[in-house]
């Protein structure tokens, strides 16, 4: 076993400076992730003491190492029986790269280091999130602030506090999911669901419906608090205010809507019908009735903004001839009027950002089914 592991170490040993030679400047994040996982794997092997291996074979160690994803998960190493994390490897690489290796291509070096910094930031955000999410707790400090800012007796302030805690923690859980999973991974949960009675209550408490000025004051207090909590997360997780993760975008939209006494996304969504009866084929939007029928088949009630972006880009830009004839802005205006204004209130994602194997399969399957039915 010892000789087998030593041979393996020797075969795959790569110096940290040599690693840069494998990097291509045009590598996207997905390709860089695969490469860094390979580097981590070799580093994991190098840090395993052959005299203290506690596994049946090198194969089982390889299988364990290959399970690693960018979730900071650790493995019990034979060396000192410690648990080693991928974050340790990233830190080790960044420390070594503080000095530019003269034998390396400078552009590749910069690309590699920038990517490692991005992953390191993700790990630090994950550590903070994990600490926050280990124990469920309310939004500390809300009740004293609320009692001073809004006259009590109109609403159940404890229920409002619980609703805010649920809303913010749901966003945190979603952000954690997005950090751990690939972009097209499905998030399963009740993330700020518009049918949540708790959310409906704290956005529009029934006892305030007859007191318009009080209702406006109440919404402004909640909006101010949510904006403050969002600012804390932007600072803590080093987020770009102009490009917030989807997890916190709804928090921002809801907070601003409350602050300015507009309808929130949650209120709009809960008031919309699943599909209007007036939706008919529009020859200005679609090439023919088949294109409209295909769109309708995929425009189901569960569709989200990314699904819709894919559907538009696919039909307007990837089909030859195009199945959707109008530009993005006109399509969004039409969709907002006919279906759901919430899904098109932000920019339409590019095809590359919205594309996924699952969406493509669903699209092609629906297209085949329609062709068969017409044939």
For residues 331-355, average pLDDT: 83
Query: Which run of H or of E encompasses 144?
Result: helix 142-149
The model's pTM: 0.52
Neighbours of 32 (CB within 10 A): 19
SS3 85: strand
> How far apart (Å, rounded) are the C-alpha atoms in residues 33 and 40?
10
| 251 CB neighbour count, 10 Å cutoff | 23
102-133: pLDDT as tens digits: 888 999 999 999 999 888 887 777 777 766 66
Q: Pinpoint the alpha helices (H) of 237-264.
A: 246-259
Q: Helix 212-236 and helix 157-180: axis angle, to 10°?
A: 30
Cβ neighbours for 340, distance < 8 A, ≥ 6 positions apart: 269, 272
CB 332 within 8 A of CB 344: yes
Of 58-67, 236-245, 294-303, 356-365, the least confident: 58-67
- The Cα–Cα gap between 366 and 360 comes to 10
Q: How far apart are CA 5 and CA 11, in angstroms?
A: 10
pLDDT digits (tens, 9 = 90+) for 2-41: 566 667 666 667 777 888 888 999 888 878 888 887 787 7
Q: Where do the domains of the chain lie? A: 2-116, 138-271, 289-374
Q: What's the pLDDT at 191?
A: 46
The strand pair at 74-76 and 83-85 is best described as: antiparallel
Rounded Cα–Cα distance for residues 349 and 181 (Å): 19
């Amino acid at each position: 076993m010892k000789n087998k592991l030593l041979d393996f170490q020797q075969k795959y040993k790569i110096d940290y400076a040599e690693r840069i030679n494998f990097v291509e400047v045009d590598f996207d994040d997905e390709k860089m992730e695969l490469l860094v996982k390979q580097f981590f794997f070799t580093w994991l092997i190098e840090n395993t003491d052959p005299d203290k291996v506690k596994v049946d074979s090198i194969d089982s160690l390889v299988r364990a190492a290959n399970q690693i994803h960018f979730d900071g998960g650790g493995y019990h190493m034979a060396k000192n029986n410690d648990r080693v994390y991928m974050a340790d490897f990233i830190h080790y690489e960044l420390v070594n790269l503080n000095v530019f290796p003269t034998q390396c291509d400078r552009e590749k070096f910069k690309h590699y280091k920038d990517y490692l910094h991005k992953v390191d930031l993700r790990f630090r955000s994950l550590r903070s999130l994990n600490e926050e999410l280990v124990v469920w707790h309310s939004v500390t400090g809300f009740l004293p602030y609320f009692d001073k800012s809004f006259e009590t007796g109109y609403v159940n302030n404890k229920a409002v506090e619980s609703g805010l805690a649920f809303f913010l923690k749901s966003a945190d859980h979603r952000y954690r999911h997005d950090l751990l999973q690939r972009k097209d991974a499905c998030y399963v949960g009740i993330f700020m669901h518009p049918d949540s009675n708790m959310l409906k209550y704290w956005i529009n408490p029934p006892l305030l419906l007859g007191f318009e000025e009080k209702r406006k004051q109440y919404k402004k207090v909640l909006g101010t608090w949510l904006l403050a909590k969002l600012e804390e997360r932007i600072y803590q997780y080093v987020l770009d205010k102009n490009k917030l993760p989807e997890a916190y975008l709804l928090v921002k939209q809801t907070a601003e809507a409350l602050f300015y006494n507009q309808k929130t996304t949650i209120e709009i969504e809960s008031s919309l019908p699943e599909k209007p009866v007036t939706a008919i084929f529009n020859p200005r939007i679609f090439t023919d009735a088949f294109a409209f029928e295909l769109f309708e088949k995929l425009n189901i009630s569960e569709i989200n903004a990314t699904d819709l972006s894919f559907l538009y880009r696919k039909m307007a830009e990837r089909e030859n001839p195009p199945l959707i004839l109008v530009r993005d802005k006109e399509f969004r205006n039409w969709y907002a009027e006919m279906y759901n204004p919430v899904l098109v209130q932000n920019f339409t994602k590019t095809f590359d950002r919205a594309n996924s194997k699952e969406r493509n399969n669903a699209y092609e399957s629906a297209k085949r089914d329609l062709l068969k039915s017409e044939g």
